[in-house]
Amino acid sequence: MARVVIDPITRIEGHLKIEVEVDGKKVKNAWSSGTLFRGIELILQGRDPRDANLITQRACGVCTYVHSLASIRAVDSALGSQLADNGRIIRTLLHGSQYLHDHLVHFYHLHALDWVDIVSALKADPKKTEALAAKISPNAHGEGVNDFLEVQNRLKKFVASGQLGPFANGYWGHPAYKLPPEANLLAVAHYLAALRQQTRTAKLMAIFGGKNPHIQSMTTGGVTCAMDLTPDRIGEFKFLWKETMDFVDNVYIPDLLAVASYYKDWGRIGGTRNFLAYGDFPMGPKEPEDFLMPRGVIFNRNLAKIEPLDVALITEQIKHSWYEGSPEGLNPANGETKPAFTKFDTNAQYSWVKAPRYKNQPMEVGPLARVLIAYGKGVPAVKETVDMVLKKLAVPKAALFSTLGRTAARGIETKVIGDAMGTLLVQLVDNIKKGDLNICDPRPWEQMPANGMGAGLNDVPRGALGHWITVKDKKIASYQMVVPSTWNLGPRDAADKMGPVEEALVGTPVADPKRPVEILRTVHSFDPCLACAIHLIDTDNDELYKFEVV
């Protein structure tokens, strides 16, 4: 029996520690620990509710807009704001922009190195890579033999200098890597292309948001960017959106399918059983009826029975977390944040992350949950895309419940949500042509109610995000945030049931405990948002190994 401690996990946002027991080259037990206390909710108490969206988006350097949206939705809910139709459209376009940027960055720059052997690309024949590119992504730009030769030469310079730059300290040569050299070279080329593309995709949010990453244009009942509703600004947004979707269609999705075809065995690894989504992307004024990605709950992988969601049945349990209070926890509307650190003990308290539960059950949230619920409900665009992926990979539906399925789901919803942004742009232009220039609640702040309670729910790239607020005398009396990585990466609950990532890790094969790339594959598939060293203790001989992974 070996105990593997990865602390902190790299290629994520924040500080996450994963500890597993490996027996017979498989994970037998797992613990997920968030090791950083932030306390954003405490900072908000006593402040103007309009400040909340500006402060909460500072909780993260990646998931910025989505906290702003959840926060402003919570204030809208508490004060009964009247949401302007153009405000809805622009908010949703901004939300889609976050998805396009976030999912591209995750696939290429946070997750791909778990599947792509960078050093193997040095052995590739650029001519064969050109032929491979023509086969899997014939409409991609800059795919000639000279382009791949240039990438290979750049990589050789990294190696010759003794520094691999962004590719340093990986598990290169690990037996779990399966791509041939030519596919690895193609992936490296697209890694670099995605670096360039994401800088342009990031501009989408700045057009209607005022700046990126921390936007300035949210207000009660809509947005404030009236000066940006011009043909030039809308045209600029449309151009960048089309450019991004060209990359999604001709590079991202083909790469996803090509890489997945070598790792079909991961369609049986890393799965969970229960899924939850708040739903999001309102394509019309009625919520949640007009959500592109619907709301719902799945238990025991039963796609034939999508249950309605009752937010009142959510609890945040703290038996294994460093907080005071009842181990069974409270609903977030009545939640408390009372830190009480003791020590790290996997048999007692071992995380700053709470353990959210729905009907006392752990629930996976995120792309896979959203896609499964939309697929089960028969959403046409989702069903068509999922069926296409399953057919091309020649895998059964059961493969969706896995690390492979979770990674594929990100690409699937990137395509579906990106395409839907085109419909929203048409709606916006039509409204403007009709003379509708309203973008927010017309009432001044002084006419808003002084008291209220509300929840702002949205589904963000990493999963279900909820903000709960109580307003008294135009001040924030209480505030709670339950973020996606709390759902996915939380510890055991009051009944000692594992959290989703802990459950998903059990059964994961580990060929070499000193180089646990397989563990990283499943953890990264959840896209943790919680910061680079790995510490591994082999309990058979009490050796301590320390090394870094980028």
Q: 380-395, pLDDT tens digit by residue?
A: 999 999 999 999 999 9
For residue 228, the domain's CATH number is 1.10.645.10
Same domain, yes or no: 107 and 155: yes
Q: What confidence category does residue 537 fall into, taking pLDDT thresholds of 50, 70 and 90?
A: very low
List the catalytic residue out of 130, 440, 478, 529. Answer: 529
> For residue 77, is it within any domain?
no
Same domain, yes or no: 103 and 207: yes
pLDDT digits (tens, 9 = 90+) for 299-346: 999 999 999 999 999 999 999 999 999 888 899 888 887 889 999 999
Same domain, yes or no: 379 and 437: no
Same domain, yes or no: 161 and 301: no
> For residue 159, is it within any domain?
yes
State the pLDDT at residue 276. 98
pLDDT digits (tens, 9 = 90+) for 148-196: 999 999 988 887 777 766 676 678 899 999 999 999 999 999 999 999 9
> For residue 223, is it within any domain?
yes
User: Residue 225 catalytic?
Assistant: no
State the pLDDT at residue 2. 80
State the pLDDT at residue 161. 79
Q: Is the pLDDT of residue 14 over 80?
A: no
Picking from 9-23, 238-252, 406-420, which range would have the lowest pLDDT averaged per residue? Answer: 9-23
> For residue 238, is it within any domain?
yes
pLDDT digits (tens, 9 = 90+) for 439-472: 999 999 999 999 999 999 999 999 999 999 999 9
User: Residue 67 catalytic?
Assistant: yes
Percent of the chain residues topping a pLDDT of 70? 95
User: Pick the residue with more confidence: 171 or 96?
Assistant: 96
User: Residue 485 catalytic?
Assistant: yes
Same domain, yes or no: 127 and 41: no
Same domain, yes or no: 175 and 108: yes
Beta bridge partners of 22: 2, 27
Q: Is the pLDDT of residue 212 over 60?
A: yes
Q: 354, 318 in Cβ contact below 8 A?
A: yes
In this prediction the pTM is 0.93
Domain span at 92 = 83-270+402-442
Burial class, 370, CB count within 10 angstroms (exposed 0-12 / middle 13-18 / buried 19+): buried
Picking from 162-171, 287-296, 394-403, 513-522, which range would have the lowest pLDDT averaged per residue? Answer: 162-171
Instruction: Calculate the alpha carbon distances from 378 to 140, 387, 409, 531 in Å.
Output: 31, 11, 15, 38
List the catalytic residue out of 19, 32, 41, 63. Answer: 63
Percent of the chain residues topping a pLDDT of 90? 79
List the catalytic residue out of 289, 532, 543, 548. Answer: 532
Q: Mean pLDDT, to the nearest integer, of 256-270? A: 97
State the pLDDT at residue 38. 65
> For residue 384, is it within any domain?
yes
Same domain, yes or no: 168 and 248: yes
> For residue 64, is it within any domain?
no
> For residue 173, is it within any domain?
yes
Number of domains in the chain: 3
Q: Is the pLDDT of residue 424 over 90?
A: yes
List the catalytic residue out of 3, 13, 109, 443. Answer: 13
List the catalytic residue out of 485, 492, 515, 525. Answer: 485
Query: Pairing between strand 452-460 and 222-223?
Result: unpaired
Same domain, yes or no: 190 and 292: no
Q: For residues 504 and 263, give the distance between their C-alpha atoms in angstroms, rounded to a whole number.
A: 17
> For residue 397, is it within any domain?
no
Q: Mean pLDDT, to the nearest integer, of 58-84? A: 90
List the catalytic residue out of 19, 60, 77, 137. Answer: 60
List the catalytic residue out of 19, 33, 67, 521. Answer: 67
State the pLDDT at residue 4. 84
Same domain, yes or no: 286 and 266: no
Picking from 60-64, 202-206, 293-297, which range would have the lowest pLDDT averaged per residue? Answer: 60-64
Same domain, yes or no: 180 and 307: no
Burial class, 108, CB count within 10 angstroms (exposed 0-12 / middle 13-18 / buried 19+): buried
Same domain, yes or no: 326 and 417: no
Q: What DSSP designation does 361 have? A: B
User: Pick the residue with more confidence: 441 or 550?
Assistant: 441
Same domain, yes or no: 471 and 530: no
